[in-house]
Amino acid sequence: MLRIFNTLHKRIEEVKTLEPGVARMYTCGPTVYRYAHIGNLRSYLMADWIRRALMNQGVKVIHVKNITDVGHMRQEQLERGGDKVILAALAEGKTPQEIADFYTEAFHQDEAKLNILLADHFPRATGHITEMLEVIQRLMDNGSAYGAGGNIYFDVANYAPYGQLSGNLGEELLEGVRVEVDPLKRDPRDFTLWKGAEAGRDVKWDSPWGQGFPGWHIECSAMSTRYLGEEQDIHTGGVDNIFPHHEGEIAQSEAAFGKRYVRYWVHGQHLLADGVKMSKSSGNEFTLPDLEGRGFDPLSFRYLCLTVKYRNRLNFTFTALKAAQRGLTRLRDRVWTWRRAPSGNGRQGKETKEWRQRFWDAVDDDLNLPRALSVAWTVVHSSLADQTKLELLLEFDQLLGLGLAEGSGSFVLPRETQNSLADRESYRVRSRYERADEIRRLLGIRGYQIRDTKEGPMARPKTSFELLEERWPSVSSSREVPSYIDSPSTTDYSLVVSASDYLEDVKRCLNSAFKWSSGSSMEVVAVDNGSTDGTAEWLEELQASNDKVRIVHCDHQLGEAQAKNIGLTQSRGRIVVMLDTSIELTDIFLPRIKGLLEDQAVGVVGAWGIRSEDLQHFHEEVVSGEADAMQGYCFAFRRELLREVGLMRECFRFYRNLDLDFSFQFRNLGYRIVADGTLPMVRHEHRQWSALGEEERDQLSRRNFNHFLKRWGNRKDLLLANAHH
C-alpha cells in the first residue's frame, strides 16, 4: 500500500481511495504562455510516480492535469510589457489562443520525452468558464461570496477552516497576500473569484455579474470537480502551490459543495539552481530542450529526479546531471547486453520475490525513489542470472520510467562494423592487444561504443551525450578550474575574455587584440561561457592554431562573475586585462596599460571610469583621471593584487554593477582607479544588454545593485568625493 505525506495532516498516511480500486487524481498543470522549465517538470514527474505506484497496486487512476491558458494572461501584464514571449508572438500577429496552443504542444512534447504517462484529461481553463461560473454562483447563493465593484470575492471570514492546509493564519497570512490590499475586499484575506473586465480588455467572458474573467484558484476547483466529482483522492502541485492556490481551492470547493474536497494533498519540493528556486524571474531556468541542446538525454533528468526524495529540494547542477546521464547509460547498456545475449533462463523464485519486495517497499514508503533506485542497482550487481536481472529491471522500470525496455536496442550494426568487431576479437584472443585497441579506437571514431561482455564484444552507436563529451573537456562551475593565483607569472599580459555567443563580436574583439599586441609577451584566456552558436568551435580552432590562446569551456552559461573568475584564476600574466567582447582595439595598447599601472598606488586602469557622489547615482561618462570605479569593458590590474583583493563575488550572475563591486574591492584596500579615455579602443553595441527586454534588465540590474549596496552601501568614505587628503 502506498504511503505518502499528506500536507493537510502533516504526516505520512496510507492512501485509501474513496472508491476502492480507483484513484481520482488532479495535478495543477502548466501555464502555457511560456516553456515549462525543468523545475515545473519535476512536479509533474512526482505526480507520474505517484500514479505509477498506484497502478502497480492494481488501482485504476483517473488523472486530470489542467492547462492554464489564455484566461490568465493578464492584459495589464501585457500592457506593462510583461512577457517578452507573448509580446513577440503578438507582434508576429498571433492570437493569445495560438500562443497557448504553441506552448501546450511544447508541454506535451516535454512530458512525452520524460516518459510521463498521458493524463486522462487535459482541461483548458478557457474551455470551462461555464463550470467556473456555476461554482461561483453556488458560492454567491449560499453566502460564501460577495460582489463589489463588478468583482466577486470569496468571503474568507465565513469559512472557518481557512488556513488548514498551509497553516497560514492571521498575521503571516496577511504577509502572504502580496498584492496591495484591494479596497473593495471586506477582509484582506478574501480572494477574487471573478474579476470585472477593465476597459479595452480583449480576453473576457459574459457572466451574471457582467463581463470579466475568472480568478486563478477557481479554475482548478471547477475543472477537478467536473472530471473527478466533488470528492477527490489526490491533488498534487509544487510547494509554492500550497498557499494561496490550494488553500483557496479547498475553501471555495468545500464552501460550494459541503464535502471534503481532497483526501491527500501532495506537494513536491522545488528544483533549485545555484541555490535558489528555479524560475524565470531568477534567470536560472533551463528547459528540457536546453538540456537536449547540451547533448543530454531528456531521461537523464528523470533519472536525476529519482536520486532525491520529492520532499527534499534538489539543487540542479550539470555535474549532477552528467552523473545521472552516466548512470542511465550504464543501466541501459546492461539491459542491452542482457537482451542481445540471452543466456539461459534463471528464474530463482524466492530470491526475485525478495528483490521485488524491497523495491516496492521503498516505493510505497512515501515514494522513496532513491532507495528504490539503489535496489535496482544492487540487482544489477548481484549474482542473479542475467535473464532474471533483466526481468526484474524491466518490472522496476514500469515505475522508474527510464525506458529501459526500449533502451539502445533498436539499431543494426553495419556489416563492416561487425567485421571489424570480429577482427578485433581475434586479435584480442591472440593477445595482440595493440592491434585490438587500434581497431577499438577506429570504431570509436566512427561513432561506436564497444563493450566487452561475458558473451564477447558488443558495439552500439555512441549516445549524443557521449559524442558531445568527446569534443572537449568542459566545466560546470568555477570550482572545477585550478587556480594559478599563487603561481608565478609566465608572461607579461593575460587578456581575459568571457564569451557567451555572439561569435562576430568575439572574433572582432580577439582579432583586434592580436593585431595590436603582436610585439608583446601575452596570452589570451578565453572562457566559452556555454556558447551554442559556433563560438565554442571557433575558439577551439583559434586555440589549435595559436599557442597563446587557452580556452575553458563551460557546459552551460555560468553567472558572469563565475565565468570571469575562471578567466582570472587561469591567468598567468603579470598584468591582467579583462576585455568585453563589445570592445575593438584600434592601436597598440598593452604597453600603455603597463605604463599606467607602473605607479604602485594605482590598482585598476581602463578606458571608461565611473564617478559617484552618493553611491546612488553613477556617472558613466568617460572620465580621464581618477575614478571611483572602472567599467568592465576594459579593466586592467597587476595580477599579484588578486591575492589581496580576492576574486569577484559570484552572487553577481549578471554583469551589471559587477565592475562597481570589484572596483570597490580595490578601493577598499586604498588603491587608486585611473581611467584613460585615450586608450586606443572603441565600444560597439553591448549585446548582452540590448538582447534583454526592459523589464528583465531592470530586474537583473536591481538585483545586482542590491548585492552591491549590501556590501558597500555604508562606505561612502571610499568615494573620491569624500576623500580626506
Residues that bind Zn ion (CB under 5 A): 28, 220
25 binds, among ligand AMP, Zn ion, none (CB under 5 to 8 A by kind): none
- Number of other CB atoms surrounding residue 721 within 10 Å: 11
270 binds, among ligand AMP, Zn ion, none (CB under 5 to 8 A by kind): ligand AMP
| CB 342, min distance to ligand AMP, A | 41
656 binds, among ligand AMP, Zn ion, none (CB under 5 to 8 A by kind): none
| CB 283, min distance to ligand AMP, A | 13
Which residues of the shown chain bind ligand AMP in the complex (CB under 6 A)?
A: 28, 30-31, 39-40, 42-43, 237-238, 240-241, 268, 270-271, 277-279
| CB 105, min distance to ligand AMP, A | 15
Helix (H) or strand (E) run with residue 360 in it: helix 349-364
166 binds, among ligand AMP, Zn ion, none (CB under 5 to 8 A by kind): none
Q: Is 699 helix (H, G, I), strand (E, B) or coil?
A: helix
- CA-nearest of 599, 612, 615, 725 to 674 is 599
What Å distances lie between residue 514 and 378, 429, 518, CA to CA?
A: 56, 54, 6
| CB 117, min distance to ligand AMP, A | 17
CB nearer to ligand AMP: pick between 103 and 516: 103
CB nearer to ligand AMP: pick between 89 and 566: 89
30 binds, among Zn ion, ligand AMP, none (CB under 5 to 8 A by kind): ligand AMP
43 binds, among Zn ion, ligand AMP, none (CB under 5 to 8 A by kind): ligand AMP
| CB 237, min distance to Zn ion, A | 6
CB nearer to Zn ion: pick between 28 and 273: 28
| CB 415, min distance to ligand AMP, A | 48
CB nearer to Zn ion: pick between 47 and 554: 47
| CB 42, min distance to ligand AMP, A | 5
| CB 19, min distance to Zn ion, A | 23
Strands (E), 412-521: 448-453, 456-461, 491-499
- Number of other CB atoms surrounding residue 41 within 10 Å: 26
CB nearer to Zn ion: pick between 28 and 443: 28
CB nearer to Zn ion: pick between 39 and 609: 39
- CA-nearest of 558, 657, 667 to 602 is 667
| Exposed/middle/buried for residue 680 (C-beta within 10 Å: 0-12, 13-18, 19+) | middle
C-alpha angle 404/406/407, rounded to 5°? 55
What Å distances lie between residue 499 and 380, 514, 582, 635, 660, CA to CA?
A: 43, 16, 10, 16, 20
- Number of other CB atoms surrounding residue 183 within 10 Å: 7
Side-chain half-sphere of 258: how many Cα atoms within 13 Å?
3
| CB 265, min distance to ligand AMP, A | 12
Q: Is 629 helix (H, G, I), strand (E, B) or coil?
A: strand
Name 319's Cβ contacts closer than 8 Å, sequence gap at least 6: 476, 477, 480
What's the per-residue H, E or C state across 367-388? CCHHHHHHHHHHHHHCCCCHHH
Number of residues assigned to the chain: 725
CB nearer to ligand AMP: pick between 219 and 505: 219
| CB 120, min distance to Zn ion, A | 17
492 binds, among ligand AMP, Zn ion, none (CB under 5 to 8 A by kind): none
220 binds, among ligand AMP, Zn ion, none (CB under 5 to 8 A by kind): Zn ion
| CB 14, min distance to ligand AMP, A | 24
What Å distances lie between residue 248 and 155, 193, 497, CA to CA?
A: 11, 10, 51
278 binds, among Zn ion, ligand AMP, none (CB under 5 to 8 A by kind): ligand AMP
Q: Taking the chain, what is the end-to-end CA distance rounded to the nearest angstrom?
A: 78
| CB 47, min distance to ligand AMP, A | 9
196: β partners: 212
196 binds, among ligand AMP, Zn ion, none (CB under 5 to 8 A by kind): none
CB nearer to ligand AMP: pick between 56 and 279: 279
SS3 content of the chain, % helix, strand, coil (to 5): 45, 20, 35
C-alpha cell at 131: 463550470
CB nearer to ligand AMP: pick between 228 and 576: 228
Buried b (16+ CB within 10 A) or exposed e, 84-103: ebbeebbeeeeebeebbbbb
CB nearer to ligand AMP: pick between 43 and 420: 43
128 binds, among ligand AMP, Zn ion, none (CB under 5 to 8 A by kind): none
| CB 245, min distance to Zn ion, A | 6
CB nearer to Zn ion: pick between 30 and 606: 30
| CB 28, min distance to ligand AMP, A | 5
CB nearer to ligand AMP: pick between 117 and 148: 117
CB nearer to Zn ion: pick between 191 and 652: 191
Scanning 459-576, the segments in alpha helix (DSSP H) are 464-471, 503-515, 535-545, 560-570
42 binds, among Zn ion, ligand AMP, none (CB under 5 to 8 A by kind): ligand AMP
What Å distances lie between residue 502 and 40, 57, 580, 582, 691, CA to CA?
A: 30, 54, 12, 10, 11
Residue nearest to ligand AMP (CB): 238
What Å distances lie between residue 203 and 71, 73, 186, 223, 293, CA to CA?
A: 7, 8, 27, 19, 36
| CB 71, min distance to Zn ion, A | 13
My answer on whether omega of the bond before 244 falls inside 30° of 0, hence cis, is: yes
553 binds, among ligand AMP, Zn ion, none (CB under 5 to 8 A by kind): none
238 binds, among ligand AMP, Zn ion, none (CB under 5 to 8 A by kind): ligand AMP
Q: How far apart are CA 287 and CA 40, in angstroms?
A: 9
CB nearer to Zn ion: pick between 219 and 560: 219
401 binds, among ligand AMP, Zn ion, none (CB under 5 to 8 A by kind): none
Q: Are 32 and 107 in contact (CB under 8 A)?
A: yes
CB nearer to Zn ion: pick between 247 and 584: 247
Q: Are 195 and 154 in contact (CB under 8 A)?
A: no
Name 304's Cβ contacts closer than 8 Å, sequence gap at least 6: 314, 316, 320, 321, 324
